[in-house]
Structure formats: C-alpha cells, structure tokens
Amino acid sequence: TVGLTAQEAGYKVYLVGGSVRDLFLRSPNLDLDLVVEGNGMDLAKKLARRLGKVRVRTHKKFQTAKLIFDDGLIIDVATARMEYYKSPAALPVIELSSLKMDLYRRDFTINTLAVSLNPKDFGLILDFFDGLRDLKGKVIRVLHNLSFVEDPTRVFRAVRFEQRFNFRIGKFTEGLIKNALKIDAFKLLTGDRLFHELENMLLEEKATDCMRRLGELNLLEVYHPKLKLSDKLEAILDSVEQVMAWYKLSFLTLPTRPWLVYFLALADPLDEAEMEQLCARLALAPRLRREIKEMRAQTLKVLNRLQRNQLSPSKVYDLLHKLKPAYQLYIMAKARQEWAKKAVSRYLGNMTKVKPLLTGDDLAGMGFDPGPLFKEILERVLAARLDGEVTTKEDELALVKS
C-alpha cells in the first residue's frame, strides 16, 4: 500500500534506519521509519486516508509526519527532497539520490540500510555505507569523523546499541568517542538531551551493562565529575538489576519510572549537594528534583532502621508505605542483609494488598465520629491484621471495642 500510494503521487519511498536494522536482527520494532523522495507530509496524509483508523501528526518545519495506529504501530515519515542539478546547455537534468544523502546524515552504519517499497523494485536492499557488513560483524561504526562532534548524544546511542545487541564499538569509532571527551563536546549538550539519552539507557534491559560501559569509557563524568566506575557502584547497579528482574517476574510488569531506581543507584556515591548538581545538569523538573531530594534523605533513614534489626510486618509497613515504589526498590537493592531485602519484597508482594475488613460505615455504626479518629482506628486495625493479631471481622470489632 505504501509503495503504491507513493507511486500514484509520483514519489519514491523507502523503509530505513532502525526498523531495517531490527528486521535483519530479528528484533521486534513497532516504530517504522520511511524516507520519501518527494513530499513526505503529503504521502502521510494520503496513506492515512487509505488505511483509516490512524492519527496523523505533521511537523511542517521538518517536513515530517507521524502515523499513529491503535495497536501501537508508529510510522515516521520523513522527506528527502529530490535534488536536481541543472547541467549546462541542453543536457538532461541530473537527479542525485537524496535518499543516500539522507542516510549519510545518520549516526551509525547499521542504521543506514534502506529497503525499497516501490512497486518497481520492491524489497531491494540499498546498502550505501556497508551497514550489512557491520551488522554481520557486530560492529558499531560512525559514518564520518565529525559524527560525535555534530551530535554528542550519539556517544550514548553507541553504548546503548552496543550493549543491547551485544555488538562492539569499532576501534576508530571508540577513538572518536575519546576525542569527543577530550574536547568536551558534551558541554554544549542541553540537560534535556543528556537526560533523555541517559533515561533511554536506563530503560534498556541491560541498563547496568550500559552504565558499566560508560564507566569504562570515562563517560560517567559527563554527568558529574565525581561519578566513576568502582566495585561498589557496580555492585549496587547489579543489585538493582536483580531487584528489577524479581519485580518483573513477580508482577509481570515494571514499576513506574523504572529508570529512577537505576538513577538512584548511579548517584549512590554522591552526597546531597552533588546530587543536586547532577539533577541540575540533567535539567530535571523542579518538582522531580524536590521529590528526589526529600525521598532520598528519607530512604537512607528507612534503610538504616530496616537493617538494624528484624521488625514486625506492621513496622515495616509503617516505614515503607510513605515512599514511592522506585525508592522502595532502591532500598531493597541496597539492603545488605537478606532478611532486610525480604522485608521489602514481602511489603511489595503482600502487604500493600492487605486492608481492614471494617469500614468507615462500621465505625459510624459503632458511634464514632467521622474524621481523623477513623483513620487512626483503621490504621491500628491494619497493623494488627498485618501482624496476624486479627484475622476475622469479629476480631477487628473486638479490637476496636477494647
């Protein structure tokens, strides 16, 4: 459909970039990138009309469009304008492949493969920059020397792809990364972009490996000069990975803001002032910065208390329930004793579901006035239930009466 629609409009269209790379690697990808030689926005609109049940978002300045399907599929449509070079006299106009120029602007050779969707040569693979060779050789390689200087976020993308696919950054490309560090190419990067790439790495399944690799390449200091790879840092990141795997297995989903658990672990060596510098460099929103500052302080207190001696379930509940999930998981990762880890896992697994059987209505029926007292009574009942002191509603009634 895409190729036919393009042909009718007089355009050429190619599937490019990450989607082609993932096709070869048999890695699932719900984000398809198209490059159109012609008018990308026009093709996107025509496609939407033909396919139906899709939302279109166009970006006029960049001549791009996004088709968003209900099942999660996203098609990004970009324009590579045809470039005509008039030759002198009556010679024919030369048409330069703008597809090739579009691909040359990209980050790594493995992301420069294209597949023609045009009816005339549908399925033809275009490999201008040896992308197939590097996919087979499992190498991450840039296309030209200035790639990282033009866009330093690519350094983090290189590490992310390397770890995700178990590839290796090429020798020359690694040299260019070291050079980017030497000339401090990162100082021009906005906090937003720096954070976005960090978040992308922390959302990877191999987030810990990504951080380890950043450490090896001395790239952690881009975030904060005091961040360095150490046995201690590796240990806490490994521990977070185990906790995240446990969480995923137990609840079949990830906690909200999974990146934050890794982020807290990464910032483990930093004191409060240094953590604030890190958050400022990453341009985190003021609200998030405040939250991190407050919760991190509380987290350390809770951790100390949890590790001092084994506590009753209601005490554990008391300590943990005011913290958000990311901080609870961070505590679980940081706890040294197995029983302290277990206490947090039991909290996350069972305790959050426990509720008193008595309701506010029951209490009103017993003659209590609604208000803060209700909350206090129900909290006491909950504590007794968590500690196994009451099991039935009658037990709870008896407790309240006493």
Contacts with ligand CTP by CB under 6 A lie at 17-18, 31, 33, 106-107, 111, 151, 153-154, 157
Pairing of β 64-69 and β 74-79: antiparallel
Q: 106 or 341, CB closer to ligand CTP?
A: 106
Cα 83 to Cα 86: distance, rounded to the nearest angstrom: 10
When the beta carbons of 150 and 387 are compared against ligand CTP, the nearer one is 150
CB of 244 to ligand CTP, least distance (A): 19
| Identity of the residue, 79 or 111, whose beta carbon is nearer to ligand CTP in the bound complex | 111
- Least separation, in Å, of the C-beta of 185 and ligand CTP? 13
Question: What is the smallest separation between the CB atom of 106 and ligand CTP, expressed in angstroms?
Answer: 3
Q: How far is the CB of 200 from ligand CTP (least distance, A)?
A: 7
Write down the least CB distance from residue 2 to ligand CTP, Å: 18
223 or 327: whose CB is closer to ligand CTP? Answer: 223
Nearer to ligand CTP, 163 or 239 (CB): 163
Q: How far is the CB of 112 from ligand CTP (least distance, A)?
A: 7
Rank residues 116 and 153 by Cβ distance to ligand CTP and give the closer one.
153
Nearest to 326 by CA among 395, 267, 394: 267
Q: How far is the CB of 161 from ligand CTP (least distance, A)?
A: 8
- Decide whether 106 or 334 has the Cβ nearer to ligand CTP: 106
Q: What are phi and psi of 209, to 5 degrees?
A: -65, -40
